[in-house]
Amino acid sequence: MTARTILIADDHPLFRQALKLAVRRAAPDAVVIEAGQLGEAAEAARRADRLDLILLDLRMPGSQGFAGVALLHAERPDTPILVISSADEAEAAPRVRAYGAVGFVSKTADLAALEQAVGRALAGERDAPASAPAETDVAERVASLTPGELKVLLGVLAGRLNKQIAFDLGISEATVKGHMTAILRKLGVQNRTQAVLAARALDIRFGD
């Protein structure tokens, strides 16, 4: 039987070591993959033959707001994502669940709490739902986008034109337009401006 595989995505090496220790205690046989940037994490998720759990920090190079959760969920919709972050739990926990995560753990949690959270996620358990924020419906719509569509949407949010997005992603402008058509349909909006307004639920701030 193939060993379970767990991806740890965090840009702090020392905290990755702490997460690895929690993983070893919860799943001694697991193969651990590490990534220090969102792009690396997305590539690892895409390439892995088997991926049983993703441990994700919200704030890491290449990630802003809740884009990391949405992107990794789009890459591996059947793989549970456990967010481990220093963000405010009361605000962030319900929002990461809306984007597809199974739970949220504060970085201030001790090793025993991390181990328990990893064990619950591997067992298929999800955090009990809390009161959902007003933008949960939008978040769920964004979470329905494919990886390609989400990358195009992030380009739109950054103010990039279709030809610029095509160049950035190494795809044709026609493909970008096709993705935009799907994005507008899935978000239930009519144009790019409305898509940008809707996708602000991702909490991305360019140029900060």
Q: 117 and 18 share a domain? A: yes
Q: Write the DSSP assignment of 90-124 as a string of letters.
A: HHHHHHHHHTT-SEEEETTS-HHHHHHHHHHHHTT
Query: What pLDDT is recorded for position 100?
Result: 84
**Closest to 152 measured CA to CA, from 177, 189, 185, 188:** 177
**188 with 201: CB under 8 angstroms?**
no
pLDDT of residue 163 exceeding 50: yes
Indicate if 158 and 108 belong to the same structural domain: no
CATH of residue 175's domain is 1.10.10.10
Residue 54: its pLDDT value, please?
97
Same domain for 108 and 193: no
pLDDT at residue 202, as a whole number:
64
Q: What is the structure's pLDDT at 208?
A: 32
Q: Same domain, yes or no, for 50 and 95?
A: yes
Residue environment code for 167-184, b if the CB has 16+ CB neighbours within 10 A, otherwise e: eebebeeebbeebbeebb
3-state secondary structure of 9: strand
Looking at every residue in the chain, the average pLDDT score rounds to 86
In DSSP terms, 17 is beta-bridged to none
Same domain for 23 and 109, yes or no, is: yes
> Edge-to-edge, what's the strand order for the sheet holding 103-106?
31-35, 5-9, 53-56, 81-85, 103-106
Residues 29 and 78 in one domain: yes
pLDDT at 128: 63
Whether residue 160 sits in one domain with residue 63: no
Tell me what pLDDT residue 206 has.
38
Could you tell me if 96 and 150 lie in one domain?
Answer: no
Confidence of residue 91 (pLDDT cuts 50, 70, 90): confident
Burial label for 53, CB within 10 Å (0-12, 13-18, 19+), is buried
pLDDT of 203 strictly over 70: no
Q: Which of 122, 157, 188 is the C-terminal boundary of a domain?
A: 122
11 and 95 together in one domain:
yes
Domain end among 56, 91, 122: 122
- Strand, helix or coil for residue 205: coil
Q: How far apart are CA 84 and CA 79, in angstroms?
A: 16
Model confidence band, residue 201 (pLDDT cutoffs 50, 70, 90): low
Q: Is 6 helix (H, G, I), strand (E, B) or coil?
A: strand
What are the tens digits of pLDDT across the range 110-160?
A: 989 999 999 999 998 887 655 455 556 777 788 788 989 988 988 888 888
Domain limits at 23?
A: 5-122
State the total domains in the chain. Answer: 2
- Residue 52 located in a structural domain: yes
Q: What is the pLDDT of residue 86?
A: 85
Q: Are residues 48 and 116 in the same domain?
A: yes
Task: Please identify, among 63, 88, 122, the residue that sits at the C-terminal boundary of a domain.
Answer: 122
Nearest partner of 102 among 94, 111, 110, 90, judged by Cα: 94
- Give me the count of residues in the chain: 208
Looking at the structure, tell me whether residues 154 and 113 fall in a common domain.
no
Q: Which two tokens stand for residue 61?
A: 């190079």
Give pLDDT tens digits for 166-185. 999 999 999 999 999 999 99
Indicate if 100 and 155 belong to the same structural domain.
no
Percentage of the residues of the chain whose pLDDT score is greater than 70: 91
